[in-house]
Amino acid sequence: EAGVTQFPSHSVIEKGQTVTLRCDPISGHDNLYWYRRVMGKEIKFLLHFVKESKQDESGMPNNRFLAERTGGTYSTLKVQPAELEDSGVYFCASSRETSKNTEAFFGQGTRLTVV
């Protein structure tokens, strides 16, 4: 079974530009999460999809970030316009169910650098 895949693995963009990150979860996993890790700090939750619906987007930093999950399959996270503080590693994770014991399966992350 294929794991969670993220594209691209690295992205370097200039301040003010737009970047779109993509995540393909494990097939059959209704739950999809986006997280971000700024260098040396904790992995911070951004948002949670259940199928195509946003279940919780309390971690989205501001309205420059837009996440979608059309058809409940892959998800995109768009940053527009990008700012310097958006730099970090963006992780996507998926899980089959939502419970306190559920393991989340992670992609390898997209390293975003805004210059």
Partner 1 sequence: GNSVTQMEGPVTLSEEAFLTINCTYTATGYPSLFWYVQYPGEGLQLLLKATKADDKGSNKGFEATYRKETTSFHLEKGSVQVSDSAVYFCALSGSGGSYIPTFGRGTSLIVHP
Burial class of residue 94 in the structure, from the number of CB atoms within 10 Å of its CB (0-12 exposed, 13-18 middle, 19+ buried): buried
73 contact partners, CB below 8 Å, separation of at least 6: 24, 25
Site string for partner 1, 2-41 (x = CB under 8 A): -xx-x--------------------------x-x-x--xx
18 or 102: CB nearest partner 1: 102
Would the CA dihedral through 4, 22, 66, 44 be positive or negative? positive
Under rule CB under 8 A, residue 1 binds partner 1: no
Under rule CB under 8 A, residue 80 binds partner 1: no
Positions touching partner 1 (CB under 8 A) are 3-4, 6, 33, 35, 37, 40-45, 48, 56, 91, 93, 98-109
